[in-house]
Amino acid sequence: MELISFGAAQTVTGSKHLLKTSKGTLLIDCGLYQGNKKENSKILDPELTEVDAVILTHGHLDHTGYLPKLVKHGFNGPIFATAPTIEIAKLIMADNAKIQASEARSKNKHEVKESRKAKPLYDLNDVSKTSALFQQRDWDQVFQWNGVEILFQCAGHILGASSVKIKDGESSIVFSGDLGRSSDSIMFAPKSFHNATAAVIECTYGDRLHGEVSAKADLEAAIKKVKSKEGTLLIPAFSVARSQNVLFYLSQIFREHPHLKLPVYVDSPLTTEVTKLYERFGDYHKLAASDFAHIHKDAQFIEYKSQRESLDKNEESKIIVTASGMMTGGLAPHYLKILSESKSNTLMIVGYQAEGTLGREIVDGIRDFFVEDTSVTWNGDVYISKAFSSHADQKELLDWLDHIKGIKQVFLVHGEESSLIKMQQLVGEKAKIVIEKSSYPIN
């Protein structure tokens, strides 16, 4: 076997890992870059047009969002994933196609030359063609593709997320996908494999431990702060997993501390649809029907433009949960503009912010920035929580890896430089930091 990475190599986005087997070529994940749109618009690499089948570890945009582009260029093979991952991917791809179309229209308002007009990577027709290629596979059940054995196992992280093992003859390789926490409030703990020849492991938090800080305690502190100022708490959160975590903790806090209760508005169509999937696929997480009953009791999900317009004028103290989590799209930029002037408001950051995103700029201390071509100064507080992560920390990554016997090669991906270097030091001589488009034989 031979491994070539076309994304998530020395960066935390755009996962695409090409695996050449004796029976054909597999692509493990097919994600968009977040924060660097120039990467997405590059000409499709010729080797990606030779893919025979795709394996998805989970439904996040940076692991699935490039699939319709692949299909647009002729791919028509099977796409293997768990049932929840398939449904999440469909939503994510359709949502992204609409965002691309909207952005293209905005950029082309004053452009008359057809050759210079911005064009979406793909449209809803491409998404529909992609959706028709999905084939559902379950955790813990080995299946065959052209004589190659493939096994999905629970990765934690988000609904339906998987790690995958691929066995071709005597050689085998495992891909961690994005690994979750060992003690997540919603998701089950990641499950490792018994043995493998090689491993490809994510290193998002390879250089740090999450510590004992509680996400619920952080959220409670932010609510107290904004309530004392009679302002609004704005929480841009990923529509898949992070928003459901936030809503779950809010319902817990309100039950335990009724005096902290504030109106909660969820304004993200994608978050609304994904929350329905969490309810539908109850066997894939720890939440019960009663938990969702509390969430729906405590939060109002915005459905209509008129509701959003009313919310824009609403001056009461409240909580708004919206998307995107890195503030690069969705309705987060809209609410940043609406709420930026008042010192009473608080922006709470509850997720990883990749380089090149507006969220990363804010984490780095920038308070004057452009939102949709408008200059904005955020005058309120910024509360950065490091307790919400759905990614395994350094110890959890090493524990997952140590469980697998017989590994001769470890390939480090999906991490920034400091994380990759630290993990390489800890794993030792068999660990290699993957460089994009470099070829690695699997011995």
**Do both 294 and 375 map to the same domain?**
yes
**Do both 240 and 341 map to the same domain?**
yes
Q: Is the dihedral of CA 61, 67, 68, 70 positive or negative?
A: positive
Q: Residue 282 CB: number of other CB atoms within 10 A?
A: 12
Whole-number Cα distances in Å, 208 to 10, 77, 81, 158, 181? 17, 39, 30, 21, 13
**Do both 355 and 239 map to the same domain?**
yes
Looking at residue 36, its pLDDT comes to: 65
**Do both 237 and 351 map to the same domain?**
yes
**Do both 260 and 342 map to the same domain?**
yes
Nearest to 411 by CA among 193, 176, 180, 155: 176
Asked if 365 contacts 353 with a C-beta cutoff of 8 angstroms, the reply is: no
Looking at residue 425, its pLDDT comes to: 97
Domain holding 269, by residue range, is: 215-384
What CATH number does the domain containing 36 carry?
Answer: 3.60.15.10
Looking at residue 146, its pLDDT comes to: 97
- Please identify, among 384, 409, 429, the residue that sits at the C-terminal boundary of a domain: 384
**Do both 228 and 199 map to the same domain?**
no
Instruction: Tell me the two tokens of residue 419.
Output: 């994380």
Task: Indicate the angle between helix axes 215-228 and 242-256, nearest 10 degrees.
Answer: 70
**Do both 159 and 85 map to the same domain?**
yes
**Do both 230 and 343 map to the same domain?**
yes
**Do both 221 and 330 map to the same domain?**
yes
- Please identify, among 363, 384, 405, the residue that sits at the C-terminal boundary of a domain: 384
Asked if 136 contacts 71 with a C-beta cutoff of 8 angstroms, the reply is: no
Q: How far apart are CA 390 and CA 320, in angstroms?
A: 21
Beta pairing class for 148-154 and 439-441 = unpaired
Asked if 54 contacts 166 with a C-beta cutoff of 8 angstroms, the reply is: no
Instruction: Indicate the pTM of the whole model.
Output: 0.92
Nearest to 250 by CA among 315, 303, 237: 237
Q: How far, in whole angstroms, is CA 305 from its chain's centroid?
A: 26
**Ordered DSSP codes for 105-120:** HHHTTT---GGGS---
Q: How far apart are CA 337 and CA 351, in angstroms?
A: 20
**Do both 198 and 230 map to the same domain?**
no
Looking at residue 355, its pLDDT comes to: 81
**Do both 275 and 220 map to the same domain?**
yes
Asked if 185 contacts 108 with a C-beta cutoff of 8 angstroms, the reply is: no
What CATH number does the domain containing 248 carry?
Answer: 3.40.50.10890
Asked if 368 contacts 376 with a C-beta cutoff of 8 angstroms, the reply is: yes
* Phi, psi (rounded to 5 degrees) for 203: -135, 35
* Phi, psi (rounded to 5 degrees) for 230: 55, 40
Q: What is the count of structural domains for the chain?
A: 2
Q: How far apart are CA 352 and CA 363, in angstroms?
A: 10
Nearest to 437 by CA among 71, 38, 78, 42: 42
Q: How far apart are CA 240 and CA 178, in angstroms?
A: 13
- 172 forms beta bridges with 167
Q: How far apart are CA 408 and CA 253, in angstroms?
A: 47
Looking at residue 254, its pLDDT comes to: 97
**Ordered DSSP codes for 320-372:** EEES-TTSSSTTHHHHHHHHSS-TT-EEEE-S---TTSHHHHHHTT--EEEET
Asked if 5 contacts 16 with a C-beta cutoff of 8 angstroms, the reply is: yes
**Do both 102 and 165 map to the same domain?**
yes
- Please identify, among 384, 407, 422, the residue that sits at the C-terminal boundary of a domain: 384
Q: pLDDT tens digits, the chain, 443 residues: what are they?
A: 999 999 999 999 899 999 999 999 999 999 998 766 667 766 688 899 999 999 999 999 999 999 999 999 999 999 999 999 999 999 999 999 998 898 888 788 777 677 678 889 999 999 999 999 999 999 999 999 999 999 999 999 999 999 999 999 999 999 999 999 998 889 999 999 999 999 999 999 999 998 777 899 999 999 999 999 999 999 999 999 999 999 999 999 999 999 999 999 999 999 999 999 999 999 999 999 999 999 999 999 999 999 999 999 999 999 999 998 999 888 999 999 999 999 999 999 998 888 888 999 999 999 999 887 789 999 999 999 989 989 999 999 999 999 999 999 999 999 999 999 999 999 999 999 999 999 999 98
